[in-house]
Structure 1
Amino acid sequence: MVAKNQTVVTEFLLLGFGDLHDLKFLLFAFLLIIYVMALTGNALVIVLVMIGQNLRSPMYFFLSQLSLSEFLFTSNILPGMLWLTLAGGGKISIIRCFSQFYLLAVCTVTQCLLLTIMSFDRYVAICKPLHYTIIMTFGLQLQIVTLCWSTGFILSIVLFGFLYRLEFCGPDTINHFYCDIGPVLELSCSDISSTKLVTSMLSTPLVVCPFVLITATYISIFNTILKISSSIRRQKAFSTCSSHLTVVCLYFGSLASIYIFSPKIGSNTKKNLSLIYILVTPIFNPLIYSLRNQDIRGAITKYIHLIGTWQLP
């Protein structure tokens, strides 16, 4: 319980990037470019998968859901970062802070599960090609995607419930540019042991288990690819996996650095690692798939050509 002579905190002060003086306008422009690129890139993938006749396979359906989660993720974090950069820091209400973390957690959980499912899709396509269309039906795809998003919402509401029960009575300063659970817990004057336990019980398996499953899946995939006699077929099989594997390494690497190994590093280092997670992955996902995937490149070229041939009446 909070003592009567203690002030109950209703707002947090996010320090953001500190006092950057004239550099804040340069950083603001950089973040704005990143924001626009991330939104445009992920929205483009979603639209192309929706309207592209040659992008109707399960792989692209799951990719569109991954881009949707990245779109929501970016929209949740980047506008606040832009505001903090210009203002040199700013206040945020506790409920808005918790809501920001809730949507962050939803997108993070969903992305972990989607990346795992995408590796399973590649496993079936390469290791069980004759059964691919039988296994990966559209009904199964919808069930899998629904399960991924539902798990994200349910697990995140559990964390939100534990956070909502906490009390804050000062200090109110968070040395970060968004509301993450670690910095928030450090400010609570309540008993946070149960919240930290639940957070650890949920976050560690959600990072470790998908990564282990993806690794095991790709071991089977590579064993199958090495047995393919045709070098052209072998190269094609590798190319279909390389984009996903690149995204997996980037995403889980940054995620593990922040949430598993973060107790061993300082707050400024955490902020720098968070920048990779917040800024790099939302841009790299559509870029990697666009640059390395012939079908998506072909769809982009096709619709650019169609737009270029439109004539006003």
Structure 2
Amino acid sequence: MHRGSWNGVQRRAVQTLVIILAAAVLGACGGSGPSATMGPGAASGTPAEASPVILSLPPTATPTLAATPTATPPTTSLRDVDWRAVLTGDPALEFGAAPSGFPAELGDLYLPDGPGGVYGFPALDEILYGDLDGDGQEDAVIPFHSGGTAGAIGVLVYRATPDGPRLAAAQPSYKMDIRLDGGELVLRTAAYAGWEPNCCPSAWVETRYRLEGDALVPTAEQVGPVQGSELLTVEHFYGLLDAGDYEAAYAFLSPNFQAANPYDAWVSGYANTERVIAYVAQSEPGRVTVNLEVHERDPAGDTRVRYFSGTWYLIFDSERRQWLLDRAEIREVA
């Protein structure tokens, strides 16, 4: 047999084999047309929308998919770490010797000047845990105390990382109440109008924070009066009158009262006043009872004493963060 004849026979055999294999594949697939795309349970002639077609590739043809970058979860919960070791090992914090005279229960860790101005004694038994940035991992809020009347004066916020706790944010404040609510850090702090003694602020400010990146971002703020500060407000008002500081006293009157009593007309009523001694008592929220002893000069130059009694009604000014005297029901008594 010639080589050329052998090659022609070989070609015809291969072609026949290809045709046979193609027919076998088509028969296994059920032919062509719409029915070839039907999934399990689909009505005849209707493509199955919810059933994807899954192709099985030979093992040698399976592609390698690149891994999707994801944050590696921390291996240890923040609730289980040694916070004393974390704080003293943090290069952002430089602890020093605690000032003398503070109670021993505050501990021996003292931060004289930390990030964001936070300082004081870390309250390791008051740490709060919650997800403040929505990443599914708990963050830790560590309060710092002044050791004195200022109470809690700041917080440090740590987040969990695969390498351990990392300082994320700091927030200083004054006389704080600290809580977590709905994934937010809520700080309620004392607010002063400027004339009050340190013990007794007129108002509180409550600010809600979310952790965004490495910052505590405020989301809402609310201002309200401190219970009982009405009494101190009225007491201070009469102290200003007694000192003859009528301009400062007039500022404690509400806009409505001032509109009805312009300054010049109001202050002329005290032209002959030498002393104003007030005895005040809180009766209920927004109301303060007063008993007044007023020393006045009469036309002859002599001093006479007059007595008054009644009630002041006050309103709270959230912008000025203090109470204002709004309306008086005060009468002279024998």
Q: TM-score range by the shorter chain?
A: under 0.3
Say which structure is richer in helix: 1
Choose 1 or 2 for highest CA Rg. 2
* TM-score, structure 2 normalization: 0.17
Say which structure is richer in strand: 2
Higher relative contact order (CA 8 A, sep 6+): 1
* TM-score, structure 1 normalization: 0.17
